[in-house]
């Protein structure tokens, strides 16, 4: 059942101003929100090596991946609470280190942001992700509810020379047009992204929930859908529908519920007839090889002892978006 949760105030709260573009976090504002306790044996998200943000700034690391966690819900309207998801993903995926060290693009983990103030949290995520992008690195946020994706995507977009396409894998459209509410939350944040001139267009991949068939979504400007669900859409057909994105600049968001519950039982809003982990990997692999992915995020996983390794499968798909340069 959908659950009401914390809700942020209205649209003014989520305006990420141009004056945040590339802003370096300082001790006086955002650095104190970043938990920099070294993770497991010095390795964190997806086997990435822990690094202090100051060290990241001192060294030329253009093209490297930089993971950042956010461990509280921003504004949940639908689904089960998943606070602590970032720490959970970090704990369950640091073991990927042997593979990551050899086969993945150079990866770093700078810590987990914890903040209970919604306005400050949105600004902090945006500033950190935008600053990482201006260093020439590619930020990857691991968050709780999907609302966090909005802050990360806009932070990266303001640091990009050209507005990126926002592509999100999600069983739900998260536009909220069939049931309009005034406040920002995980069921309408995509509509806020569509209103930004820093996002070129928005593409959903994998939607299959019942509300995605409401006619109001048939002709939304700058918005397109590559449907999932029934009848089954194989990855090669999805890639064919995405072929116009080849060569373009993308920000990619992974909502864990794009996967079928048989692959990812630990998601906040499960939907039947989803993609398999291998199908998601194939599409992510094509995006990584064919497009310029400048940032990404992973959201909506819930901490669980019965995850079936979903967090590792999703992290492997995340790495596919950023193939190692040879």
How confident is the model over 297-325, as pLDDT tens digits?
999 999 999 999 999 999 999 999 999 98
State which H helix or E strand residue 92 sits in: helix 85-93
Whether residue 263 has pLDDT greater than 50: yes
Residue 3 lies in a domain: no
pLDDT of amino acid 31: 83
Please tell me the predicted confidence (pLDDT) of residue 12: 36
Residue bearing the bigger pLDDT, 130 or 37: 130
pLDDT at 26: 57
Mean pLDDT of all residues in 208-217: 97
- Residue 167's domain comprises 27-320
Count of domains forming the chain: 1
4 in any annotated domain: no
Q: Taking 90 as the threshold, does the pLDDT of residue 11 lie above it?
A: no
Q: pLDDT tens digits, residue range 67-87?
A: 999 999 999 999 999 999 999
Q: What is the mean pLDDT of residues 193-197?
A: 95
1 lies in some domain: no
Alpha-carbon distance 53 to 211, whole Å?
42
Residue 249 lies in a domain: yes
Number of residues assigned to the chain: 326
Structure tokens at 55: 């060290």
Residue 221 included in any domain: yes
| pLDDT the model gives residue 10 | 34
Task: For residue 12, tell me if it sits in a domain.
Answer: no
Q: What is the CATH number of the domain that holds 187?
A: 3.40.800.10
Whether 25 shows a pLDDT value over 90: the answer reads no
> Cβ neighbours of residue 122 under 8 Å, at least 6 residues apart?
8, 13, 14, 16, 74, 150, 151
Instruction: Report pTM.
Output: 0.93
Residue pair 209/171 in contact by the 8 Å Cβ criterion = yes
Q: Looking at residues 155-159, what average pLDDT do you find?
A: 95
Helix (H, G, I), strand (E, B) or coil at 256: helix
Give a yes or no: residue 6 inside a domain: no
Weakest mean pLDDT among 58-62, 129-133, 204-208: 58-62
255 close to 168: Cβ distance less than 8 angstroms: yes
CA atoms within 13 A on the CB side of 246: 7
Report yes or no on 218 lying in a domain: yes
């Amino acid at each position: 059942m959908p659950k009401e949760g914390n809700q942020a105030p209205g649209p003014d709260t989520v305006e990420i101003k141009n004056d945040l573009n590339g802003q370096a976090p300082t001790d006086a504002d955002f650095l104190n929100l970043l938990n920099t306790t070294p993770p497991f044996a010095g390795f964190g998200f997806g086997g990435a090596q822990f690094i202090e943000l100051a060290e990241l700034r001192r060294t030329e690391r253009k093209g490297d991946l930089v993971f950042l966690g956010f461990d509280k819900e921003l504004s949940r309207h639908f689904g089960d609470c998943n606070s602590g998801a970032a720490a959970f993903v970090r704990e369950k995926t640091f073991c990927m280190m042997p593979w990551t060290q050899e086969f993945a693009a150079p990866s770093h983990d700078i810590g987990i942001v914890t903040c209970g103030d919604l306005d400050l949290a949105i600004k902090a995520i945006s500033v950190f992700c935008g600053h990482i992008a201006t260093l020439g690195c590619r930020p990857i946020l691991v968050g709780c509810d999907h609302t966090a994706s909005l802050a990360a995507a806009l932070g990266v977009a303001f640091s990009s020379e050209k507005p990126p396409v926002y592509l999100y894998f999600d069983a739900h459209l998260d536009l909220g047009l069939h049931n309009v509410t005034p406040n920002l939350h995980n069921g309408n944040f995509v509509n806020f992204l569509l209103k930004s001139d820093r996002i070129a267009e928005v593409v959903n991949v994998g939607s299959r929930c019942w509300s995605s068939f409401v006619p109001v979504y048939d002709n939304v400007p700058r918005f397109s859908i590559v449907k999932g669900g029934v009848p089954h859409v194989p990855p090669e057909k999805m890639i064919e529908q995405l072929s116009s994105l080849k060569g373009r600049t993308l920000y990619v968001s992974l909502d864990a519920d794009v996967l079928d519950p048989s692959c990812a039982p630990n998601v906040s809003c499960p939907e039947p007839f989803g993609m398999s982990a291998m199908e998601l990997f194939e599409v992510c692999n094509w995006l990584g090889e064919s497009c310029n992915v400048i940032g990404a995020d992973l959201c909506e996983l819930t901490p669980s002892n019965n995850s079936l390794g979903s967090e590792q499968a999703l992290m492997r798909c995340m790495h596919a978006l950023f193939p190692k340069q040879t």
